[in-house]
Amino acid sequence: MTDNSIPGPMSMVKVDGSKIKHLREEQGLTQLYLATAVHVTTDTISRWENKRYPSIKKENGLKLAEALNVPLEALMEEDEVVEPSPIPPATILDPPKPPTGSTQSRIKKIWPLLILTLTLFCVVVLFAWYSLYSSPELTITAERNAPEHCIAGQPFPVMIRITGAPEDKPTAIIIRENLPANATVVKISPEVAAGGMKRDMIKWLKKIHEAATFAYVIRVTGGEGDKVGFYGTAAISGESGLPPPIGGSSITNIGQFHWADGDKDNIISDSEILAVHDRYNEIEGIDVDIDTIEEIWLGSGYKWNQTTKSFEILE
């Protein structure tokens, strides 16, 4: 394999823009997806595809190849061009000989067989193409699980569950979760890339298998009776149009009850603490203050002290 790297202080490679564009469109990816994966702008991706920048950083080339699921060599220019074979003079000068009577008779006899053979061949080719390049429509769903209520200033978790992705093939997904204006993020899982966390939005770009969970912990400000609204979208590669919204919970009410106290009876029951463990305890990097929840569960109840901003456990 010929090395297309350009010597110098910065390692560069020559890429073929038409190959990049062909692979991106073949996999149903957008320029925005590649730009996010490589950490460049969509204008840069457009310039690469239009061969305005034939040489790029090798580091960017490796990221681009990984996003397109191909080796870097598959994006590089071909160093050798195979010239077409010249047509033999005899082929040009010698006119075809007309078939004789016996030859015409044989052609008439085998003509239906030739038609049948050609038809079967076309069917096999079309079936093979469909099997290799077509993919079933994905029915990926995204559901948000947020508590029905919370206490102002106290952290609570929000979980987004993705299901329906193929088990045998990684699927790229972009999740955009708009944060309430009165919210402060405490924890995020999984971690986001540089630029993925903003004041009013969390953006994840990940490849998933079958199912995945995204979660974060926030604190909100406000008074009793105020509502906290959530909205987000989940986009997968190959989709056209606007990405579908995330379903599930969309409103959390600010009050005087712990978020794990689902029925707001100032007691955390067995079923409520089991639900906390089942939903949140195994999410890596997310702390839901399980110690406080277990203390309330072990006691006979609790009440929120607005003055001290703390829970009072009833014995």
Domain termination residue (choose one: 237, 263, 289): 263
Per the DSSP assignment, residues forming a β-bridge with 261 are none
- The dihedrals phi and psi of 118, each to the nearest 5 degrees, come to -65, -40
Q: What is the pLDDT of residue 112?
A: 76
Q: What span, in angstroms and rounded, lies between the C-alpha atoms of 149 and 253?
A: 4
Residues 65 and 164 in one domain: no
- Asked if the structure places residue 247 within a domain, the reply is yes
Domain termination residue (choose one: 19, 43, 75): 75
Q: Reading across the β-sheet that carries 201-208, which strands appear in turn?
A: 201-208, 171-178, 231-236
Q: What is the pLDDT of residue 133?
A: 54
CATH number at residue 189: 2.60.40.10
Q: What span, in angstroms and rounded, lies between the C-alpha atoms of 23 and 30?
A: 11
- Report, as ranges of residue numbers, the positions in the chain whose pLDDT lies below 70: 1-10, 79-109, 111, 128-138, 238-240
pLDDT in tens, 37-86: 888 898 888 888 888 877 888 898 898 898 888 998 888 877 533 344 44
- Asked if the structure places residue 107 within a domain, the reply is no
> What is the count of structural domains for the chain?
2
Q: What is the pLDDT of residue 312?
A: 94
Residues 149 and 259 in one domain: yes
Residue appearing with tokens 């204006």 = 181
- Asked if the structure places residue 87 within a domain, the reply is no
Q: What is the pLDDT of residue 301?
A: 93
- Asked if the structure places residue 208 within a domain, the reply is yes
Residues 147 and 229 in one domain: yes
Q: What is the pLDDT of residue 10?
A: 64
Extract the tokens encoding 58.
């090798």
Name the residue among 149, 147, 177 with its Cα closest to residue 162: 177
Residue 62: CB atoms within 10 Å: 15
Residues 40 and 150 in one domain: no
Residues 171 and 248 in one domain: yes
Collect all residues with Cβ–Cβ distance below 8 Å to 94 and sequence separation of at least 6. Answer: none
Residues 147 and 235 in one domain: yes
Q: What span, in angstroms and rounded, lies between the C-alpha atoms of 192 and 202?
A: 8
Q: What is the pLDDT of residue 82?
A: 35
Q: What is the pLDDT of residue 87?
A: 46
Q: Are 300 and 288 in contact (CB under 8 A)?
A: no
Q: Reading across the β-sheet that carries 149-150, which strands appear in turn?
A: 149-150, 251-254, 227-229
Torsion sign, CA atoms 201, 206, 210, 211 = negative
Domain that holds residue 38: 5-75
